[in-house]
Chain A
Amino acid sequence: MTSIGTGYDLSNSVFSPDGRNFQVEYAQKAVENGPTTIGLRCKDGVILACEKLITSKLLVPGSNKRISTVDRHIGIATSGLIPDGKHFINRARDEAISWRRNFKDSVPIASLADRMGSYAQAYTLYSSVRPFGVTAIVAGADNDGPGLYMIEPSGLYWGYFGAATGKGRQAAKSEIEKLNLSELTLLQGIKEAARIIYVAHDDNKDKEFEIEMTWVTKDAKTANAAVTGSRGMIWNGWVHEEVPKELLEEAAREAKKAVEEEDEEDDDAKGEEKMDEDL
Chain B
Amino acid sequence: MFRNNYDNDSVTFSPQGRIFQVEYALEAIKQGSAAVGLRSKTHVALVALKRNAEELGSYQKKIIPIDKHLGVALAGLSPDARVLSNFMRQQSMASRLLYKRPVPVSRVVNSIADKAQVNTQHYGKRPYGVGLLIAGVDETGPHLWEFQPSGQILEYFGAAIGARSQSARTYLERHFESFPDVSRDELVLHGLKALRDTLQQDKELTTDNTSIAIVGIGEDLKQYDGPRVKRFLDLLGEDGTKSQRAARLDTAMDAGGADDDNDDELAGLLGESGPSGSAMDTTE
A129 near B173: Cβ-Cβ < 8 Å: no
Q: Using Cβ atoms and an 8 Å threshold, which residues of chain A touch B116?
A: 83
CB-CB contacts of B64-105 with A at 8 A, as 1s and 0s?
000000000000000000000000000000000000000000
Q: How far is the CA of A1 from the CA of B6 in the complex (A)?
A: 15
Contact of B17 among A28, A58, A64, A82 (CB under 8 A): A28
Would A60 and B121 count as touching, CB distance under 8 A? no
28 A-B residue pairs with CB within 8 Å: A10-B5, A11-B12, A23-B12, A23-B13, A26-B13, A26-B14, A28-B17, A29-B15, A29-B16, A30-B13, A30-B18, A58-B157, A59-B154, A59-B156, A63-B154, A81-B19, A82-B152, A83-B117, A83-B151, A84-B117, A86-B110, A86-B117, A123-B121, A128-B122, A129-B11, A129-B122, A129-B123, A133-B13
B176 engages A58 (CB within 8 Å) = yes
Given contacts A3-B15, A4-B15, A127-B123, contact A86 B113 (CB under 8 A): yes
A27 proximal to B (CB < 8 A): yes
Is B191 an interface residue when CB atoms closer than 8 A count as contact? no
Residue A212 lies at the interface, judged by CB distance under 8 Å to chain B: no
Within 8 A of A (CB), among B2-35: 5-6, 10-19
Quick check: B13 and A29 within 8 Å, CB to CB? yes
Q: Is B158 engaged at the interface, CB distance under 8 Å to the other chain? A: yes
Q: How far is the CB of B39 from chain A (nearest CB, A)?
A: 9
A128 touches B124 (CB 8 A): yes
A129–B123 alpha-carbon span in the complex (Å): 6
Beyond the given pairs A3-B15, A28-B17, A127-B123, 17 more chain A to chain B contacts, judged by CB atoms under 8 angstroms and listed by A's residue number, are A23-B12, A26-B17, A27-B17, A30-B17, A56-B156, A58-B173, A59-B157, A63-B155, A64-B153, A64-B154, A64-B155, A83-B113, A83-B152, A86-B151, A130-B11, A130-B13, A133-B13
A208 to chain B minimum Cβ distance, whole angstroms, is: 14
Residues of chain A at the chain B interface (Cβ within 8 Å): 1, 3-4, 9-12, 22-23, 26-33, 56-60, 63-64, 81-84, 86-87, 90, 123, 127-131, 133
Q: Once the chains are docked, how many angstroms separate the CA of A123 from the CA of B122?
A: 10
B48 within 8 Å of A (CB atoms): no
B side interface size, CB within 8 A: 37
B155 contacts across to A, CB distance below 8 A: 59-60, 63-64
Also in contact, A58 and B158, with CB within 8 A (given A83-B117, A87-B118): yes
- Asked if residues B117 and A87 are in contact (CB atoms below 8 Å), the reply is yes
B239 at the A/B interface (Cβ < 8 Å)? no
Distance, CA A115 to CA B280, complexed state (A):
61
Whole-angstrom distance between the Cβ of A11 and the nearest chain B Cβ: 7
A174 to chain B, nearest CB (A): 24
Total A-B residue pairs with C-beta atoms closer than 8 Å? Answer: 101
Return B147 CB to nearest CB of chain A, in Å: 11
When the two chains form their complex, are residues B173 and A57 in contact, meaning their CB atoms are under 8 A apart? yes
Q: How far is the CA of A22 from the CA of B6 in the complex (A)?
A: 12
Chain A contacts for B113, CB-based, 8 A: 83, 86
Measured CA separation A60–B6 after assembly (Å): 35
Tell me, yes or no, whether B188 is within 8 Å of chain A by CB. Answer: no
Q: Which of B146-199 contact A (CB under 8 A)?
A: 150-159, 169, 172-173, 176
| Chain A residue contacts of B5, Cβ below 8 A | 10
A142 to chain B, nearest CB (A): 28
Contacts of B225 in A (CB 8 A): none
The 5 closest A-B pairs by CB, nearest first: A83-B151, A29-B17, A30-B17, A26-B13, A63-B155
> CA separation between A7 and B14, bound complex, in Å?
12
> Which among B15, B117, B172, B176 is the interface contact of A26 at CB below 8 angstroms?
B15
